[in-house]
């Protein structure tokens, strides 16, 4: 059982969008797990093998062991909303039994990220149904639905419903992004390679990511922040001073 489960399409998605929030949760004694739906095998740069190595390096920085991160082996670029894939996600939700589920927002430049949203929402519904049977390690799994679901942004975004202050985690978040050396280049850390540049591999992409985290941090009176939208309406506040 984990407090938080984060699901997205490609290894590195969760790191880019919510690594700060997950590390902050860990710093506070919470537990989390990650599910990547694909291995990112259609990526222009790197190979499946190099990306696996990069994910292992990222896991070390995030403090995750092998059992904390699942790859569901769906084809990159072709995440079908079907029964087989729904059950794969149901199995993960029932295994990790998170209280909070984080996944991609439904409007993005990359179709896989939008498909994550549709597939995960379907799986969350099915995961709560007794009649939907799944097993893990030969044992039938019990139904489970997370109490709260929040979506994170990839390229497109809107005004978030809340922002998590990740100022204390930003240096480690940059390290975890740099673990994906074939995919990203932080400004000032340009390196020579013969691979073609992509939308995400130039320093301009990393600069824009840092600027967005700086912007949302500024908007909550912090330095860096990660934005979220809620899936099921407003969130409960018990003490107004918690929001200060
Ligand atoms: Zn992605």
Domain membership of residue 243 (yes or no) is: no
Would you state the pLDDT for residue 43? 82
Residue 13, domain member (yes or no)? yes
- Does residue 242 sit within a domain? no
pLDDT band at 169 (very low <50, low <70, confident <90, very high): very high
| Residue 34: per-residue pLDDT | 98
**159: CA distance to ligand 1 center in Å?**
21
- In the structure encoding, which two tokens stand for residue 209, read together? 């990511």
pLDDT at res. 63 = 96
| pLDDT mean across residues, the chain | 94
pLDDT of 198: 82
CA–centroid distance, 21 to ligand 1, in Å, is 18
Give distance in angstroms: CA of 110 to centre of ligand 1.
7
Distance 86 CA to ligand 1 centre (A): 19
Q: Is residue 240 part of a domain?
A: no
pLDDT of residue 5: 98
Distance 79 CA to ligand 1 centre (A): 12
The confidence score (pLDDT) of residue 78 equals: 96
pLDDT at 204: 87
What pLDDT sits at residue 191? Answer: 76
> Mean pLDDT across the stretch 164-171?
98
Residue that wins the pLDDT comparison between 149 and 199: 149
On the question of pLDDT at 174 being above 80, the answer is: yes
DSSP code of residue 39: -
Number of domains in the chain: 1
What distance in angstroms lies between residue 136's CA and the mean position of ligand 1's atoms?
27
Tell whether 29 is covered by a domain. Answer: yes
Question: What is the distance between the alpha carbons of residues 222 and 237, in angstroms, rounded to a whole number?
Answer: 20
pLDDT digits (tens, 9 = 90+) for 44-64: 878 889 999 999 999 999 999
What is the distance in A from the centroid of ligand 1 to the CA of 150?
A: 17
Looking at residue 58, what is its pLDDT? 96
Please check whether residue 183 lies inside any domain of the structure. yes
Q: How confident is the model at residue 142 (pLDDT cuts 50, 70, 90)?
A: very high
What range does the domain containing 132 cover? 4-235
How high is the pLDDT of residue 53? 94
Residues measured by CB to lie within 5 Å of ligand 1, the ion? 9-10, 13
What pLDDT does residue 44 have? 81
Residue 157 is assigned to a structural domain of this protein = yes
- CA 138 to ligand 1 centroid distance, Å: 32
> What percent of the chain is predicted at pLDDT more than 70?
100
- The answer to whether the CB of 235 falls within 8 A of the CB of 151 is no
Tell me, in angstroms, the distance from the centre of ligand 1 to residue 197's CA.
16
Mean pLDDT of all residues in 8-16:
96
CA quadruple 13, 16, 18, 22: dihedral sign? positive
pTM score: 0.95
Average pLDDT over residues 88-106: 98
pLDDT at 117: 98
Joined together, the tokens standing for residue 91 give 């199995």
Q: What is the pLDDT of residues 191-226, one digit of tens each?
A: 777 788 888 888 888 899 999 999 999 999 999 999
Instruction: Judge whether residue 184 has pLDDT over 80.
Output: no
How far away, in angstroms, is 166 Cα from ligand 1 center? Answer: 21
- CA–centroid distance, 183 to ligand 1, in Å, is 11
Q: Please give the Cα distance from 72 to 60 (Å, whole number).
A: 20
CA 101 to centroid of ligand 1, rounded, Å: 17
Tokens of 168: 């204390």
What CATH code is carried by the domain that includes residue 198? 3.40.50.10320
Q: What per-residue confidence (pLDDT) applies to 207?
A: 92
User: Any alpha helices (H) in 29-180, and if so which ranges?
Assistant: 48-62, 83-96, 111-127, 170-178
Average pLDDT over every residue of 217-237: 96
- Does an H or E element contain 35, and which? strand 32-36
Residue 107 lies in a domain: yes
165 Cα: distance to centroid of ligand 1 (angstroms)? 23
Tokens of 81: 């909303």
Contact 199, 205 (CB under 8 A): yes
């Amino acid at each position: 059982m984990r407090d938080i489960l984060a699901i997205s399409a490609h290894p590195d998605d969760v790191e880019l969008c919510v690594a700060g929030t997950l590390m902050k949760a860990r710093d506070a004694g919470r537990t989390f797990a990650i599910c990547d739906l694909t291995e990112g095998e259609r990526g222009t740069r790197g190979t499946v093998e190099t990306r696996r190595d990069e994910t292992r390096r990222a896991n070390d920085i995030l403090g995750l062991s092998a059992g904390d991160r699942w790859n569901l082996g769906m084809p990159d670029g072709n995440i079908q909303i079907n029964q087989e894939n729904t059950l794969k996600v149901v199995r993960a939700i029932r295994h990790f039994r998170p209280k909070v589920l984080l996944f991609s927002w439904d409007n993005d430049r990359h179709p896989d990220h939008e498909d994550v949203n549709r597939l995960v929402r379907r799986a969350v519904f099915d995961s709560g149904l007794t009649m939907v049977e799944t097993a893990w390690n030969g044992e039938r799994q019990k139904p489970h639905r997370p109490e709260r679901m929040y979506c994170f942004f990839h390229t497109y975004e809107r005004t978030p419903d809340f922002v998590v202050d990740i100022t204390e985690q930003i240096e480690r978040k940059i390290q975890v992004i740099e673990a994906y050396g074939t995919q990203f280049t932080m400004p000032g850390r340009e390196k020579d390679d013969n691979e073609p540049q992509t939308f995400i591999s130039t320093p301009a992409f990393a600069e824009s990511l840092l600027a967005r985290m700086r912007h949302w941090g500024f908007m909550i009176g912090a330095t860096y922040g990660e934005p979220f939208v809620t899936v099921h309406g407003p969130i409960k506040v018990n003490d107004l001073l918690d929001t200060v």
